Amino acid sequence: MKLITTVLALIFSLGICAQENKPTFEKEGDLTKATYFHDNGEIAQTGYFLAGKLHGQWTMFDEAGKKIAKGNYEMGKRTGKWYFWEGEVLKEVDFADNRIASIIESSDTKPVVIN
């Protein structure tokens, strides 16, 4: 559980840190779409803000552009199922009240498609 918390903090901090490639923000109705970049120009993460809080689907990528995490926020709180990819391992993490409720780990070599 400590590992997941550390990974989440690291992933989120990638978008927050000062970068050569500045984030972009686009207004879409009540939402603001944010895209943060790695120093090499690849997308680090993308998602939405509502009233200044993380809201809706967020997706994170490594410096090679490979998806490493995906999940949803509701007014700044993690909610529902989040997915974390670490090589061949997929971790499905359920959040309730912004806390980890359960973790399921799969290391099957068959591809898993999650949009």
User: Does a structural domain hold residue 31?
Assistant: yes
What's the pLDDT tens digit per position in 68-113? 999 999 999 999 999 999 988 999 999 998 899 999 998 865 555 5
Instruction: Measure the CA–CA gap between 41 and 36, rounded to whole angstroms.
Output: 9
Pull the structure tokens for residue 21: 């490639």
User: Does a structural domain hold residue 112?
Assistant: no
Residue pair 20/39 in contact (Cβ under 8 Å)? The answer is yes
pTM of the model: 0.73
Question: Is the predicted pLDDT of residue 11 greater than 70, yes or no?
Answer: no
Domain count, the chain: 1
User: Does a structural domain hold residue 58?
Assistant: yes
User: Does a structural domain hold residue 95?
Assistant: yes
- Which residue range forms the structural domain that includes residue 43? 2-106
Which of 35, 74, 84 lies closest to 53, judged by CA?
A: 74
